[in-house]
Amino acid sequence: MATSRIMVIDDEKIVGDMAKLSLEQDGYSVETFLNAEPALKRLQEEQFDVVVTDYKMKGIDGMEVLKTVKEHYPKTQVIMITAFANLDAAIEALRRDVHDFFPKPVKIKELKLSIKRALEKQA
Amino acid sequence: MKIERKLILSNIINGAFIILIGFFAFQNLNLVLTKLRFVEIADDLNASFLEMRLSEKNYFLYKDKQALVQIQSNIEKTLETIAGVRDDITRAIGETDLKELVAHLYAYAAVVEEARTTGSPADAQLETRLRAEGKGLKEFSDSITHLERKRVNDIILSSKWILIFSFWVILVSALFIGHFISQKILRSLREIVKLTKSISEGNFNRIEGFQSNDELGSVITAINSMSEELGHREEELIQSKKLASLGILTAGVAHELTNPLNNISMIAQTYAEVYDNLSEKDRIEFMQKVEGETERIRQIVKNLLDFSKPKDASPVEADINAVIQKTLTLVQNMIDVSNIETTVHLGDGLPHVFIDEHQMQQVLVNFVTNAVQATAAGGRIVISSRPGKNNGSVEISVADTGKGIPPEYLPHIFDPFFSTKGEGGTGLGLSVSYGIIKSHHGEIRVESKVGVGTTFTIELPQYSAQSQRQDNLTTEDKEVLELRQK
């Protein structure tokens, strides 16, 4: 089985760095981005299995990312994390077929579990 | 002395003067009446003397002793008349003249008697004596009558002059006192107008140099203490408004704190996850990351605490761009949460300004908060600084693409307690900002178009050594300086 590819988009560098460290330990291949624009460009080049994105970002936000991914790469699962417990955003994200929705601070173990389920769903 | 007492006193003095003049006029009139009475009597006497002289001529012409009897009867009547009005005559011409008149009469009577009993009309010597006495009597009587007429004229004339003189004295004194009092009232009123104007501009000065104990003194003391009290209130208002905006800021800052807190949580979890695979150097790096994030938290909290601390205004030379940047750290999150785009254009090489940084931050926070509240998600806020229109001044503006302020509200937005935000607004933010900018000798402007947006602009004077000195001066020194400039 090929290594699953995971993309993490968050404007806080540490979030990406830490996610990368612990996910790579579990054998995933991880790429991190500080904003959505280069991340979406990268998606055109390579296929990713799971995209973990922050909801609130400058420029293109998490909801845009979800919309674009679901439109162009329906198989790719999206997990959204947000610092703001925003019910409306959560409902819209579910409507747009988000895989999971986490409030910050993210529990890494829960995130890993969610990624695992996303990969299973994809398979 | 109180103005009321001064007015009463001046009225009493003028009144006394009028009474005095009245008294003199009354006295003079009485005298004139007495003199006139005498002149009337004297006319009668003169007529009688004239008759005597006529009889005297008849005696010498017709040699008829009956004429002498006629004279004697006339003399008797005259003496009776004189005795009847003796008091009036004495009052008019005095005892001496009266006695002399009576003496003349008796002398004349003696000569007439002599002529009647022993003399003959042909006696030339007797004729001469008789004529001389008669003439003397008539002349004396004429002279006093003439003198008394002249005195009456003199009295009337002097009364006229006294009246004219006192009219002018009273007029001038009334005008002078009126002018003096009204000048004093007007001067104080002008001072009061000046002070109230400066209070409305946010300068809580005092009226100095009015040490009178009168009503104006009390009014000025009351106004001075009112100004002082307003000054205290303004300080309290600034502080309470600051605390109010602190509430709004805290919400934004709380969001800002979540980022470093999340990061610390991520670091800690990952540390535990990957611990076995970490070298000692990696572990130290992890801890340094935690330290970095706590430092971030510390800065955010420090900014907030600095802003909330009550402080006396202490203007210093400052770079306005640095103050704007510092303010942005307080409000950035609030803007982000509202999904509003911020653009910051800071002018290069701006002159330094002389400001109290905290108060200026408070004004900027207020502007940005208003802008955020007026602007819908997806809107834009532009914060900029540039050289001002006046020599060396600096302009700072906060522009939004919000709903704008209706033109009828514009003249009132800096009034205390004027708010268009319903229950959410205290109506104090802009009035406090206005007070702060005025106390910095700056200008505050607003341009707004409904549906297009609003721009608040502050213009601050350039920092100069003089501005610093002037702010350290006492009120007294400032007055001296102002006088010199005049």
The values of phi and psi at residue B127, to 5°, are -60, -45
Q: Kindly give the pairing relationship between strand A29-33 and strand A5-9.
A: parallel
Chain A within 8 Å of B11 (Cβ-Cβ)?
no
Q: What is the largest CA-CA distance in chain B?
A: 185
pLDDT < 70: residue spans in chain A = 1, 85
Question: What pLDDT is stored for residue B425 in this prediction?
Answer: 58
| A60 → chain B, closest CA residue | B339
Give the closest-approach CA distance of B254 to chain A in angstroms: 11
Strands A29-33 and A50-54: unpaired
pLDDT in tens, chain B (486 residues): 677 888 888 888 888 888 988 888 888 888 888 888 888 888 888 888 888 888 888 888 888 888 888 888 888 988 888 888 888 788 777 888 888 888 888 888 888 888 888 877 777 888 888 888 888 888 888 888 888 888 888 888 888 888 888 888 888 888 888 888 888 888 888 888 888 888 777 677 787 776 677 787 888 888 888 888 888 887 787 777 767 767 766 766 777 788 889 999 999 999 999 999 899 999 999 999 999 999 888 877 877 777 766 666 778 888 999 999 988 888 887 787 777 888 999 998 888 888 888 888 888 988 998 898 888 888 899 999 999 888 888 999 999 998 888 888 888 787 766 666 655 555 667 877 888 888 888 888 899 999 899 999 999 988 775 555 555 544 554 455 455 444
CB contact under 8 A, A22 and B273: yes
What is the pLDDT at residue B473?
A: 47
A105, A107, A109: residue with CB nearest B261: A105
Q: What is residue A73's predicted lDDT score, i.e. its pLDDT?
A: 92
Q: Do B266 and A15 touch (CB under 8 A)?
A: yes
Residues contacting B21, CB < 8 A, separation 6+: B162, B163, B166
A59 contacts chain B (CB < 8 A): no
Eight-class DSSP state of B444 = E
Gap between the Cα atoms of A116 and A108, Å rounded: 12
Contacts of A21 in chain B (CB under 8 A): 270, 273-274
Q: Which residues pair with B448 in a beta bridge?
A: B454
Give residue B474's pLDDT.
Answer: 47
| Contact assignment for B255 to A109 by CB distance below 8 Å | no
Q: Which of B270, B286, B289, B333 to mutate to test the interface with A (most CBs of A within 10 A)?
A: B270
Tell me the C-alpha to C-alpha distance, in Å, between residue B291 and each of A15, A19, A54, B288, B298.
15, 19, 24, 5, 10
Which among A89, A16, A18, A8 has a CA at the least distance from the CA of A43? A8
Q: Residues of B numbered 156-185 whose beta carbons fall under 8 angstroms of chain A's beta carbons: which are they?
A: none
Q: What Å distances lie between residue A106 and A18, A25, A60, B292, CA to CA?
A: 11, 18, 21, 20
CB of B262 within 8 Å of a chain A CB? The answer is yes
Contact flag A109-B274 (C-beta cutoff 8 Å) = no
Supply the pLDDT for residue B30: 87
CB atoms B262 and A84 under 8 Å: no
ipTM of the assembly?
Answer: 0.91
Residue A14: list chain B partners with CB under 8 A: 263, 266-267, 289, 293
Query: A108 CB near a chain B CB, below 8 Å?
Result: yes
The distance of A116 to chain B (nearest Cα, Å) reads: 16
| B294 touches A: beta carbon within 8 Å | no
